[in-house]
Structures are given as C-alpha cells and as structure tokens.
Amino acid sequence: MTEPVFDLRSYLSGNVWPALPSQRGAQLLSLLFQMADTQWWPAERIIEHQLLQLQQLLRHAYGSVPFYRQRFDAAGFRPTGSSTLPDLRVLPLLTRRDVQTAGEALISRAIPAQFGRVAEMQTSGSTGEPVKVRNTEVDQLMWEAITLRDHEWHRRDLTGKLASIRVFLKGGGEPPEGTFADNWGAPAAEVYVTGPMALLSLATDLGTQARWLLQQEPDYLLTYPTNLAALIEHFSARGIRLRRLREVRTVGETVTPDLRAACRDNWGVPLVDLYSSQEVGCIALQCPASEQYHVMAESVLVEIIDADGNPCRPGEIGRLVATKLHNFATPLIRYELRDYAEAGTVCPCGRGLPTIARILGRSRNMLVLPTGERHWPLVGFNRYREIAPIRQYQLVQHTLQDIEVRLVVDRRLTGDEEARLTHVIQAALGYPFRLNFVYFPGEIPRGAGGKFEEFVSVFEA
C-alpha cells in the first residue's frame, strides 16, 4: 500500500528541509499535534475538557452578550466554574428564528482582541431562514485544523490531483473548462506541499461534468451526494470509469447507504462524508475505520435529544443540537440545527470522540401521515428506472393528502407508467397519497447554496 504524502511546506526561502512553516501553518500544526492526542482520550476526559471551555464561553456570553444575559436570567441559570451538562440543559434551544430576531443583541460587546479579525457570514438559507453570524480567526483556525485532520485520518496523498464540483458563491469554475490552481488551497497548501486542484460549477450540465472529469482524471473528487449519484449513473450507463480515482468526498447533503454502495460497486472507491454547517463549522468527520461519524469535540459540543429534550441512547434518533465552543463573537449555545441524527455507539477504532451513527436530514425531510405521525420516507426510488426513463426525481408534500412528484425524464411517462409509479411510491410511503406528476426540463432546481433534497415537506402539520 502506498504511504500518504504529507510533505511540510517551508515558508523560508532557501530552506527546504527541515521545513519552517508560516505563522498560520505553525498554529495549525500545533492544533493538529494536540488533537492527535485528544482523539484517543477516554470519553469522560474529553467531556471534562469540553466543560472547561464551555464555562469560559458561558461566562463570556453572560457578561458581554445582551441576548444571553436576558436568556440566562429568565432560565435562572448562572454560569459558574462547576457547570455540568445537565445544568446546560436548563437553557432553551437557540433557533434560527431566535438568531434572526435577536440581531445585534446576539453579538458580543467585548470580543477578545486576541481572537483576531472578526468576519460576518450569512448562511445559504436552504431552509428558507438565512441567518447572519460573526466569527473570529480562532473559529476559522479550528475549522481548518479539522479539515487537515480529515486528510490525515483518511491518509490522502496530498500530492495527487483534487477535482471539486460544487457551488462557488464568489464565482469561478465556469464550464466547460472550469478553474485551475497549482495547489489545493487553504488550509492544505498552507501547511503541506500539494498537487493541483480543478474546480467546476455545480450548475454545469451532467454531460459536461462527465467529460470534464475524464479530461482531468483526478485522484480525489469532492461534490454533493445527489450530484455524485447522477455522475455514477451517467458513467455506469456508458461503461466508463475514472481510472485514477482513489476516493470521493461528499459535503452538504445526506448520504444514504445505497449511495455508498453505488460508489464502491461502480467506481471501486470509498465515499467519505463530512458533516458541517456554515454557522457552526465542521461538526463531525467520518471515522477512517467505520462509517460512523466522530464529533469534533475539541471544537463543538453536540447533543442528540428526544422530543422531551432528554439525551438519546445509542441507536435512538433525535434532534441535533450544537454549542460552538470557541465563538466569542456570536456565541451559539444549544443551537438547534434542525437536523435529525442517530446516536452512535462506542467506535471500534478506539477513539474516545463522541459518535453519530448517521445523519438523517432536516425535520422538513420527514413524511407526515394523516394521523400526524412523522417518519423518514422510503420512496422506492430503486424501482423507478425499471418503470420509466427517469433521470431525476423529487417528492414535495403539500398537504396531509397530497404529494407532488417532480420528474426529469428522457420522455414524458405514459398513463400506465404513471400508474405503476404511483403504486410503487404509495407502497413505499405506506399511505395512498394523491400524487401530482410535474415534469421539469433538464434539472429540478436546487435550493440556496446548491443543496438538493429528495423529499421535502412544505406545510405545517
């Protein structure tokens, strides 16, 4: 097996070895050095150190953020040097609507100068509620260090070629040629010698994406899960493969077991997912030894809670709540991401970092039955192509009885095909919903930020 290449980049002219990193590179290497140790700590020791950092954050929020002073007082909560996780659960969840409504009241009046530059970012608003938060250089450093940890965990050869097909909000990647760089960009190129990178906009049609990938012959591909699924089907239908590809990396959407299997069976490479949000940063990385996710406990405290607000046991599904431990500009304390996840078990890899068995998606991705019961929809998609030439689909629930079936097809379905597809979908959903077929030319529109959801519920039950 070829060993991964992690050659340090030296920023001192004339000095190649031993390498002397830049100041930022040295900070990142320091964090990596510490995290290489902390990942193996027992869970109890990790929680102990999370609480130490949490206490710093809570005191700062109470003393300098008007929103939290009012919220803590209303809950009868006082941040002390002995706050515990049960103490934290006294606080109500912070919602996206809270962040929108609070505005400037959620911004610290005394951001520590040593935390560096403050930048404002706005979420894509893929759920219809965009929010603005402020971060410091410390937040960015933590995100970048975790990205480097991801490279190390999965033993990537950074001298290989990276291809990225995604949304570029600031432009770039225009088809058909895309954009090129002689390195992987920050943070990898800040610390290591890397190979080249090629970028292509997600708005590019599938055929052009495929031709571009064949021209680039990347070692690594980064894209969204739904785009990956379409690419795998496109290549498989034509009996072609990417000869040099070693790994596919996914971000931004939910990864299904079927997609992992399709990537492995059709392309012969693993799929490695990363779970993050724009507000919180990198939340969890896929374990290199299993398909569970490890929470980045050095940066974020994650709770998976049931409908009553109690911690879920391994195997139980609940709401995912995050507290960002180092954001002293816009503290996000018990922030409800509106994602559902299954609590994980102790990982066989031996790491003490908390685990998430799987990320299921947002509450709006849950089917609502006329009884009021909610569950994750099985839509029977594996049988769609057996019935008709369907290239893309999306199900949108509008009422307790009505679901819109959006399709991109090679040709419009016959009445018999629509009837057969109706039977498959109704059987998979477990209820005879009224289905309305709507046909789209080319591609079903994506949400803000380029995300695509196969099932969406757009009404309030």
**Whether residue 402 has pLDDT greater than 80:** yes
Domain 367-457 of CATH type 1.10.10.1150: no
pLDDT of 67 reads 98
pTM attached to this predicted model:
0.84
Where in 296-440 does DSSP place strands (E)? 300-305, 317-324, 335-343, 355-362, 367-368, 374-375, 390-397, 402-409, 434-439
Q: Region 284-301: what's the mean pLDDT?
A: 97
Give the tens place of pLDDT for each residue, 300-346: 999 999 989 999 999 999 999 999 999 999 999 999 998 889 999 99
| Helix or strand run (H / E) with residue 76 | none
Per-residue pLDDT band for 364 (boundaries 50, 70, 90) equals: low
Cis peptide before 176 (omega within 30 of 0): yes
Mean pLDDT of 50-68: 96
Determine how β-strand 390-397 pairs with β-strand 374-375.
Answer: unpaired
Cα–Cα distance, 38 to 49 (Å, whole number): 10
Local confidence band at 5 (pLDDT 50, 70, 90 cut-offs):
low
Cis peptide before 175 (omega within 30 of 0): no
> How much is the pLDDT for 129?
57
Rounded-to-integer distance, Cα 148 and Cα 130, Å: 28
In terms of Cα–Cα distance, which of 455, 432, 307, 456 is closest to 369? 432
Whether residue 127 is predicted with pLDDT greater than 50 in this model: the reply is: no
Pairing of β 374-375 and β 367-368: antiparallel
| Cα–Cα distance for residue pair 14/244, rounded to 1 Å | 34
- Cα 44 to Cα 85, 353, 386, distances in angstroms: 12, 10, 51
| First CA to last CA distance, the chain | 54
Q: Write out pLDDT tens, residues 179-195.
A: 999 999 999 999 999 99
pLDDT on residue 20: 92
Q: Over the stretch 226-257, which tens digit does the pLDDT of each residue have? A: 889 889 988 999 999 999 999 999 998 889 88
Q: What pLDDT, in 10s, does the model give residues 421-433?
A: 999 999 888 899 9
Q: In the chain, helix, strand, coil percent, each to 5?
A: 35, 25, 45
Residue among 395, 397, 400, 399 nearest 384 (CA): 395
Beta partners for residue 120, in sequence order: 134
pLDDT at 311: 96
φ/ψ of residue 192, rounded to 5: -120, 160
Q: Report how far residue 61's alpha carbon sits from residue 94's, in angstroms, rounded to the nearest whole number.
A: 13
Say which residue the tokens 């505005």 belong to: 103
Q: Has residue 376 got a pLDDT over 80?
A: no
Average pLDDT of the residues in 355-372:
83
**Residue 365: is its pLDDT beyond 50?**
yes
Distance (Å, rounded) from C-alpha 67 to C-alpha 72? 9
What is the rounded average pLDDT of the residues 151-175?
91
